[in-house]
Amino acid sequence: MTLNPFATVAEKIDPSPKVSDEVKTTTCYMCACRCGIKVHLRDGRIRYIEGNRDHPVNKGVLCAKGSAGIMNHYSPARLTAPLLRVGPRGAGEFKEIGWDEALAIAVEWLGKIRQTDPRKLAFFTGRDQSQALTGWWAQQFGTPNYAAHGGFCSVNMAAAGIYTIGGSFWEFGEPDWERTRYLLMFGVAEDHDSNPIKIGLGKLKGRPADRRAKFVSVNPIRTGYSAIADEWIGIRPGTDGMFVFALIHELLRADRIDLDFLVRYTNAPWLVVQDPGGATDGLIARDGAGHPFCWDKQRGQAVDALLPDVAPAMVGEFALADGRRAVPIFQLLAMRYLDARYSPDEAAKVTGVPAATIRRIAAELAHAAFEQQFELETPWTDWAGRRHERMIGRPVSMHAMRGISAHSNGFHTCRAIHLLQILLGSIDCPGGWRYKPPFPRHTPLALKPAGKPGDVKPNTPLPGPPLGFPTGPEDLLIAADGTPSRIDKAFSWEAPISAHGLMHMVIANAHKGDPYPIDTLFLFMANMSWNSAMNTGGTMAMLTDKDAASDEYKIPRIIYADAFFSEMVAYADLVLPDTTYLERHDCISLFDRPICDADGAGDAIRQPVVKPDRNVRPFQDVLIDLGARLGLPGLIKADGSPRYPGFYPDYIVNHERVPGVGMLAGWRGKDGDRQCVGERNPRQLERYIANGCFWRYELPDEHKFYRHANKGYLDWAHSVGFIARPTQVIFQLYSEPLQKFRLAARGHGALQPPDHLRARIDAHFDPLPMWYPPFEGAAIDGASFPLHAVTQRPMAMYHSWGSQNAWLRQIHGHNTLYMNRQTAERQDLRDDDWVWVISHHGRLRVQLKLMEGVNEDTVWTWNAIGKRKGAWNLATDAAESRRGFLLNHVISELLPPQPDGHRYANSDPITGQAAWYDLRVRVEKAKPEEAGETYPAFATLTPPRGTPARPALLTYGAEFRERD
C-alpha cells in the first residue's frame, strides 16, 4: 500500500485533558510571598501546580518558581534520614540514625545547657515562616540567643517603619494599586512581594489613558520591575537617602507639603527641649502625665498636644513653665532639610542623579499628590469622634526593600522615605501607601526584648520574647559593665535597636567566645556556611576550628535542620532532616507574617499534599517533640506529658497566647463561627482546608483608610487584639528613643555606652532622619576600590532556596558579573572576559558581561546561584560550581580596622542590619591561563549515603503523558 502524503491526519484533540485524579490546596513556599496554590496529583505523584484563583495574595497568578515547586519536592538533594557526624566536621562523613536516637542526643545536649546556662544555646533560623513558634520555643527554653533571617535582610525597613509610622513596606503595607497615580519604588528587583507586585504593576500599566499612573524605579540596576518602569533612576548604591532628602528639600522650598496632615497625624507640632549640654536636650517636652506639649496659638501657652482642639504652632521658639526653651519638631525638620547641603545640586554629586531630574521628580510627586487629589464619598469618624463626610486621596505611593535595607545607612534612609510619604500626606489614604492589618501599631511598640542577665536562669523560660523594640538604654540586654548579653550582641551598645538580631555575627562571635562561649549552635534552614554567610571561607574555618589545648571544636556542637543537602549540612554534628513544604502543615499566622492585604486581614496554612517517602519529619513537629522531651513548661502538661501530642497541627489549633487568641484567626469558637478571638475549634484546620487553606476578613469601607486615626478601625483592631489601646497612632517624624541613646552617649543617665562607642552612637542616633556614606566605602581607599558591588534577586530564584531546582537551574545555571559597558571599555574589558573582583577582604575570579542598564560605578550579579562542588547533590562539574560564584566570598563580616585596631561589625549601627550592599571592589582582567573556572573553589562535598541518585536525563512527567 502506498501512503497518501495528502491524507488528513486523524487528530484527537482534547482541549481540557484530565491532568489529575486529586487536587489539594495549600500555600506555596518557593519564595516568601505565600501565594495560594492547587496541587494536582496523579497516582499520588505531583503532576501540576496551578495558582489558586480564590486566594487573596495571588488571585490565581503563579510564577515560574511556584510552578517548579514540583522539582523542589522531588529534588535529588533531599535528605532522607537523621544523620550523626562520624568524621571530622566539614568532611561530610555521617551515619544514618533513627529519630529516637537523634532526639535523645539533642535532648542530652540541650538538657544540660538548660539546667546550667540556657544562654549556651544559640538558636537561629533562616527564612522559615514559623517564627511565631520558634521565637516562643526559644523563650520557653530560656535562651536570649534567638533570631531569624530578618537581621540579614530587611530589619532596617521593619524597624524604621515601626519606629516612624507603626508599620512598614511589604508585609505590613502596600501601594493602593487601584488608585495610585505615581509609584516611587526603591531598591527592589523582582523580590519582596513578587506576585503581588507583578499583579499591582499590571494594574498600573493597564490603566486607561485618563487614569494613567507613572512608575519610577530607583535602583542602580535595571532588572526586574525596573525593566518595565516608566522611568529608571540608576542611582549610586547607598545614596538613596540623599536623593530623598533632596526631594524633601524641594517640596519644603516650594511649600508643597500637606501641613494639615502633619498637624493632625504626626508629632510635627510637638515641642522639643532646647537645652544644649543638658540631660533633657532634644527630648519631647511633656506634662506631668507624660503627654507631649505643643504650643497652642490661640491659648498662647504650651498645652497637651494630644487634645483634639489645639491650634499648634509649627514654628517658633517658646518658653516652657520651668524656663526651658522648646521648638516644634516641624521647625527642626524644616531647618535641617532646607539647608543647602540637601539641595538637588549637592545631592547630585553624591547620588549621580542629575539635579534637574531630582527637581522634576519632586514636582511630579507634588503634582500627583495635590493636583491629582481626589475624594472618596465614604464617611468616617476620626479618633476624636469627628465625622468626616469623605476621604481625601493623595495618589502617591512608595515601596522600598532590600536595596535600601542592606546598607549601613539603611535605617535612616528608610525613615527618610517614610518622612517623604508623610510630608505628601500619602500614608493610608486613598491612592497612597496603605497598611495591611494588624498594622498600624502604636509606635514605638511596647514590646521589649527579654534576656537581661537576671532574665536568664536555669530551667526557666524568659519572661518575654527574645526580640523586641527598645526605646532607651534601659531596654538594652547588657550586663552591669555593658557587656552584651546575647551572642550576636543584639540590643547592646553595638546595635541597640537590632529588632531582628544579627545572625551574620553569630558564628564569628561564637568562635571567638565573644562575649562568651556557647555550647550548641542550633540552626534551621539557614545555609550559614555558604550563601547566608559573609566571609564564607573564614566562616567554614571557624566552624571547624579547634581549641589547641582541648582539641575540642571552638563551637562544640552544631545541630542543623534542613530538607536538603545544602552546604551547611557538612558542618553539622547532628542533622535533623525536614520535609518539603508539600509534605507538612505550616501556619502563616497573624502573630508572624500573615497574608493580609490593605483591604482585609487574613492568614493561611499549609497542609500535606503528599506523604513523605523518606525518614524525615517536619521541623516544627520535631521542635515541639523536642520541647516536650526537654520538659519546656509551655510544651508539657502538669503531669509532664506532652501538651501537643499531635505536634504542629495540634499546636496550631490548641495553642493560645492569651485566652481566645491563637495561631489562626479564622473559624474560632467551638462551632467555628468566631473570627480573631474565640475558643479553640477542634475542626479549625478542616475549615481552612475546605476554604482553600486560607481565611480572610474584608474590612468595611469606612475602616479601609486613615487607620492610624480611624476610630471605627481602631476600636475594631483593639477588640480583636491587634493593638493594645484604641487610640491614635501618631507618626514619629522625630524619634525620641534615638535621642535617648544619643543623650547617653553624651554622658547623661545611669546607663552609658563604653567610651569606644560613644562617638558612634552620638553620630548616628539622630532623632531626625540623616544620611552618611556607607561604612565600608568610608573606611577604605576609594581610589583602590572604586566600584560598588551588589546582588539582585533573579526572578526565577528570588529567595534562592530554589537554586537546586532542576527546572529553574536551566534558566540560571551560573552567574556572571555585570558591568556598565562604558566603564568596562575604559578598562579595556570585553564581554566574556575573565576578571578578578577584589575587595578589602578577598578576591574572586569570575566571567564578565557588559550591559547598559547599570549605574556606571556599580557591578552586580545574581544572588546565590553559585554552589559548592557536590552540594545539593549536583554533579561535581555542575555549572553552579564551575562558573557560578557568590559575592559573599569577598564580603567581610567586619569593617576594616579603626585606628585603634577595633573592628566594627559590617552592619547598620542602629539596627545591626547586615550591610551586604556596602561592598566596594575593583575589577582587574585575569590572565588568559586563569580563565575558565571561578575562584575560590572549596573541597568537593559528598552527599550522605542514602541520598537519591541524580537522574542523568530529567524526564519528569513523561510517565503521566504515556498514561494519558
Residues engaged in binding ligand SF4 (CB under 6 A): 28, 30-31, 33-35, 58, 62-63, 65-66, 194-195
Query: What does the block give as the cell for 443?
Result: 509606635
SS3 87: coil
**Secondary structure of 795-828 in the HEC alphabet?**
CCCCCCCCCCCCCHHHCCCCCCEEEEHHHHHHCC
Q: Which is nearer to ligand SF4, 797 or 819 (CB)?
A: 797
Q: Which is nearer to ligand SF4, 74 or 571 (CB)?
A: 74
**Cβ pair 587, 652 in contact under 8 A:** yes
Q: Which is nearer to ligand SF4, 140 or 195 (CB)?
A: 195
Q: Which is nearer to ligand SF4, 66 or 352 (CB)?
A: 66
**Cβ pair 92, 941 in contact under 8 A:** yes
Q: CB of 606: closest distance to ligand SF4 in angstroms?
A: 11
- CB atoms inside a 10 Å sphere around CB 690: 11
Q: Which is nearer to ligand SF4, 31 or 723 (CB)?
A: 31
Max Cα distance, the chain (Å): 114
Query: What does the block give as the cell for 878?
Result: 555542575
Q: Which is nearer to ligand SF4, 455 or 583 (CB)?
A: 583
How many angstroms separate the CA atoms of 769 and 733, rounded? 8
How many angstroms separate the CA atoms of 165 and 440, rounded? 7
Q: Which is nearer to ligand SF4, 34 or 889 (CB)?
A: 34
Q: CB of 64: closest distance to ligand SF4 in angstroms?
A: 7
Q: Which is nearer to ligand SF4, 33 or 251 (CB)?
A: 33
Q: Which is nearer to ligand SF4, 62 or 184 (CB)?
A: 62
Beta bridge partners of 381: 387
Kindly give, in sequence order, each residue whose CB lies less than 8 Å from that of residue 902, ignoring residues fewer than 6 positions away. 756
DSSP code of 557?
A: E
How many angstroms separate the CA atoms of 427 and 430, rounded? 9
Q: CB of 29: closest distance to ligand SF4 in angstroms?
A: 7
Q: CB of 192: closest distance to ligand SF4 in angstroms?
A: 10
Q: CB of 204: closest distance to ligand SF4 in angstroms?
A: 18
Q: Which is nearer to ligand SF4, 192 or 418 (CB)?
A: 192
**Secondary structure of 238-304 in the HEC alphabet?**
CCHHHHHHHHHHHHHHCCCCCHHHHHHHECCCCEEEECCCCCCCCCECECCCCCEEEEECCCCEEEE
**Secondary structure of 406-464 in the HEC alphabet?**
CCCCHHHHHHHHHHHHHHCCCECCCCCEEECCCCCCCCCCCCCCCCCHHHCCCCCCCCC
How many angstroms separate the CA atoms of 575 and 570, rounded? 9
Q: What is the CA radius of gyration of the chain?
A: 28
- Helical (H) or strand (E) element with 955: none
Residue ranges of alpha helices (H) inside 828-884 are 879-882
How many angstroms separate the CA atoms of 416 and 242, rounded? 9
Kindly give, in sequence order, each residue whose CB lies less than 8 Å from that of residue 99, ignoring residues fewer than 6 positions away. 82, 615, 617
Question: Could you tell me which of 601, 539, 548, 617 has the C-alpha nearest to residue 100?
Answer: 617
**Cβ pair 706, 391 in contact under 8 A:** yes
Kindly give, in sequence order, each residue whose CB lies less than 8 Å from that of residue 4, ignoring residues fewer than 6 positions away. none
Residue written as grid cell 562571635? 509
Q: Which is nearer to ligand SF4, 60 or 896 (CB)?
A: 60
Q: Which is nearer to ligand SF4, 58 or 485 (CB)?
A: 58
Q: CB of 51: closest distance to ligand SF4 in angstroms?
A: 7
Q: CB of 34: closest distance to ligand SF4 in angstroms?
A: 6
Q: CB of 175: closest distance to ligand SF4 in angstroms?
A: 17
Q: Which is nearer to ligand SF4, 28 or 871 (CB)?
A: 28
Kindly give, in sequence order, each residue whose CB lies less than 8 Å from that of residue 309, ignoring residues fewer than 6 positions away. none
Q: CB of 194: closest distance to ligand SF4 in angstroms?
A: 4
Q: CB of 695: closest distance to ligand SF4 in angstroms?
A: 18
Q: CB of 32: closest distance to ligand SF4 in angstroms?
A: 7
Name the closest residue to ligand SF4 (Cβ).
66
Q: CB of 602: closest distance to ligand SF4 in angstroms?
A: 14
Q: Which is nearer to ligand SF4, 90 or 196 (CB)?
A: 196
Q: CB of 841: closest distance to ligand SF4 in angstroms?
A: 33
Q: CB of 518: closest distance to ligand SF4 in angstroms?
A: 34
How many angstroms separate the CA atoms of 374 and 391, rounded? 8
Q: Which is nearer to ligand SF4, 30 or 505 (CB)?
A: 30
Q: CB of 525: closest distance to ligand SF4 in angstroms?
A: 16
